[in-house]
């Protein structure tokens, strides 16, 4: 279970603290923004998207790129499927997590791991726009001409030991998540860019089956 948890954390990435990001300023009317975010995400039942992930390592000049498919279904179902250059599958469904690579399949009950509960919740919160209600993180909201940015910083010691920050970039017009940036304590960081996003398309329940 420890090994599986480590795999999940590596594949998703860890997070890092930063000052107010360049090109952004603090959201002027945070109450109105929260209301708009809540209303927008209330209408979203499913999300399907392609993604491109870029992993930057401090000790390497080359970046590691991978591609895959992302699926989300309310209230708490997530499927992240890496298809290139390797096969890797992460499925979150309720309190269960399944990790599958080319060698084996591992299952985790998040009820037995506070760390996995937080990882599970933050991924879901990012997609359904409920990050402001997550007690494990403090959220700062920024805006630019074309985007909103939510920066999440751990609020408890367990998360601080694992993570520092996750940045959620959203299109200003439709509040669609188009990038997650996750930076590790040592300076490594991961960008996850979402493209060809479709909302509210019917998704087969088998996508989220833990087996």
Bigger pLDDT: 208 vs 135: 208
Query: Averaged over 114-122, what is the pLDDT?
Result: 70
Name the residue with higher pLDDT: 69 or 189: 69
Per-residue pLDDT at 110: 73
Say whether pLDDT at 116 is over 70: no
2-54 per-position pLDDT tens digit: 444 444 444 444 333 345 678 899 999 999 998 888 888 888 899 999 999 99
Q: Which residues constitute the domain of residue 131?
A: 2-208
pLDDT surpassing 80 at residue 79: yes
SS (H, E, C) the chain: CHHHHHHHHHHHCCCCCCCCCCCCEECCCHHHHHHHHHHHHHCCCEEEEEEEEEEECCCCCCEEEEEEEEEEECCCEEEEEEEECCCEEEEEECCEEEEECCCCEEEEEHHHCHHHHHHHHHHHHHHHCCHHHCCCEEEEEEECCCEEEEEEEECCHHHHHHCCCEEEEEECCCCCEEEEEEECCCCCEEEEEEEEEEECCCCCHHHHCCC
Query: Mind listing the pLDDT tens digit for each residue in 80-106?
Result: 999 999 899 999 898 888 989 888 898
203 pLDDT tier (thresholds 50, 70, 90): very high
Report the distance separating Cα 165 and Cα 177, nearest Å: 17
Task: Quote the number of domains for the chain.
Answer: 1
Q: Which residue has the higher pLDDT, 181 or 61?
A: 181
Q: What is the pLDDT of residues 122-180, one digit of tens each?
A: 777 877 778 888 888 889 999 999 999 999 887 877 777 666 788 889 999 999 989 98
What CATH number did the domain enclosing 183 receive? 2.50.20.10
């Amino acid at each position: 279970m420890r090994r599986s948890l480590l795999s999940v954390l590596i594949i998703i990435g860890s997070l890092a603290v930063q000052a107010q990001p360049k090109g952004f300023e603090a959201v002027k009317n945070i109450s109105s923004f929260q209301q708009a975010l809540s209303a927008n995400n209330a209408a979203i039942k499913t999300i399907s998207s392609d993604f491109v992930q870029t992993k930057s390592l401090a000790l390497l000049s080359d970046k590691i790129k991978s591609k895959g498919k992302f699926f989300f279904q309310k209230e708490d179902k997530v499927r992240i499927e890496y298809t290139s250059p390797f096969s890797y599958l992460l499925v979150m469904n309720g309190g269960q997590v399944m990790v599958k690579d080319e060698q084996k399949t591992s299952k985790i009950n998040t009820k037995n791991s506070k760390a996995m509960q937080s990882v599970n919740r933050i991924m879901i919160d990012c997609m359904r726009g409920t990050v402001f209600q997550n007690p494990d993180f403090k959220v700062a909201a920024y805006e630019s001409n074309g985007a909103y940015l939510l920066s999440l910083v751990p609020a408890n010691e367990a998360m601080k030991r694992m993570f520092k920050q996750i940045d959620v970039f959203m299109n200003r017009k439709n509040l669609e998540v188009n990038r997650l940036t996750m930076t590790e304590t040592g300076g490594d960081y991961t960008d996850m860019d979402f493209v060809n996003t479709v909302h509210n398309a019917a998704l087969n329940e088998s996508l989220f089956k833990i087996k």
